[in-house]
Amino acid sequence: MSPRVLILVGALIAVVVIPVPVAGQQSPATNWTPSRTAWGDPDLQGVYTFSTQTPVERPKELAGKAFYTEAELKELAARAEAARRSREERDVDPKTPPGGYDAVWTASEGGRLSNRTSLIIDPEDGRLPALTPLGQKIRAEIEAEEASRTIGKETIYNSWADHSLYTRCFARPIPRIGQAYNHGVQILQMPGYVAIHYESMHDVRIIPLDGRPHADPNIRLLNGDSRGRWEGNTLVVDSTNFSDKQRYGPAWLNGDGWEGLPQGNMRFTERFTKVDANTIEYVVTVEDPTMYTRPWSFVLPWRSDDPNYHNPEDLYEFACHEGNYRMMEDALSGSRALKQPAGVK
């Protein structure tokens, strides 16, 4: 069970197709120049959403194909719209058994299609790089532990410690990528600082731009320690000092079922570039030589033209308190009930 704020909405947005700038090539908005703040920095301020239908990794059947053709995009959009309508009809059918969050609660859930076949742009195959021997060992341990807590298709929780920091409402991994809901974000700027407020987990990152060094390596934070600088019109943010209590790895978004690898040795370089009046091109490079055999990068458009995320008041309160008490109570009591028929103690 995932925590979330309940958002009552009238209808889902339609699927929209947008082009995405190609890494290493000029943006479609080559001649577009961002406005400036009163103190002269490029102005990135506003409310954005980063929802998308583009998968993190390129599907294996699309090996060697980085972009869709215009005709392929139209076909994908038509299929996505048909699936959306089917899901909406199913979710409002009183005969349909209750399940997870349905169409009523997930406005903008589908996000937008782009001409990319994956968010990952490096390696060129659009796939996560191979893990190091240590990374493989840790992943195997995580998967074995998760498998030991499974009865049929159900996950068993023996104690509060079996839940991630996310389901316990403490933290969600940063950098954010591929959320199904509560994917709104606001950027605020002031002289010497940039603040990024995430709707999910109501996290706020306050990023200094004055060249100060990172915190002592012994200081470990769930959201890491970030330092920023300007390179032309691009905000570059370097983040380190993550806690191993937090895991990061988008493989689970593709249905692999595991939450990712410990963040303790990870370093992220985020690049925010406003490429037109409504879009920030967000490019992230992930480095961790202890877990991955090479760095990898993804690109994710942040856009301000979604009618559900246009003004600061559109960012809903993420009403999820630390510990997520009701979820915890239900998960533990449900697990006890599942274990009894299976004869598990």
The pLDDT of residue 71 is 93
The pLDDT of residue 25 is 35
Report whether pLDDT(265) > 90: yes
As a whole number of Å, the end-to-end CA separation of the chain is 22
Strand partners, 282: 272, 300
Mean pLDDT lowest among 40-44, 47-51, 237-241: 47-51
| Residue-wise pLDDT tens digits, 300-324 | 999 998 888 888 888 888 878 888 8
Percent of the chain with pLDDT over 70: 79
What average pLDDT does the chain have? 82
> What pTM value is reported for the model?
0.83
φ and ψ of 237, to 5 deg: -120, 125
Cα(317)–Cα(280) distance, integer angstroms: 24
Non-local CB neighbours of 241 within 8 Å, separated by 6+ positions: 214, 215, 217, 219, 220, 221, 224, 225
Tokens 């079922």 appear where? 257
The pLDDT of residue 2 is 39
Length of the chain: 345
| Residue-wise pLDDT tens digits, 157-210 | 999 888 888 888 888 888 988 666 788 899 999 999 999 999 988 889 999 999
| CA count, 13 A, side-chain hemisphere, 4 | 17
In the predicted model, what is the mean pLDDT of residues 147-162? 88
The pLDDT of residue 342 is 59
The pLDDT of residue 26 is 34
Alpha-carbon dihedral sign for residues 143, 144, 145, 150: positive
Report whether pLDDT(93) > 70: no
Report whether pLDDT(272) > 50: yes
The pLDDT of residue 77 is 83
The pLDDT of residue 65 is 93
Residue 250 banded pLDDT, cuts 50, 70, 90: low
Burial of 265 (0-12, 13-18, 19+ CB in 10 A): middle
Domains and CATH numbers, the chain: 33-51+122-342 (2.40.128.20)
Cis peptide bond upstream of 94, omega within 30:
no
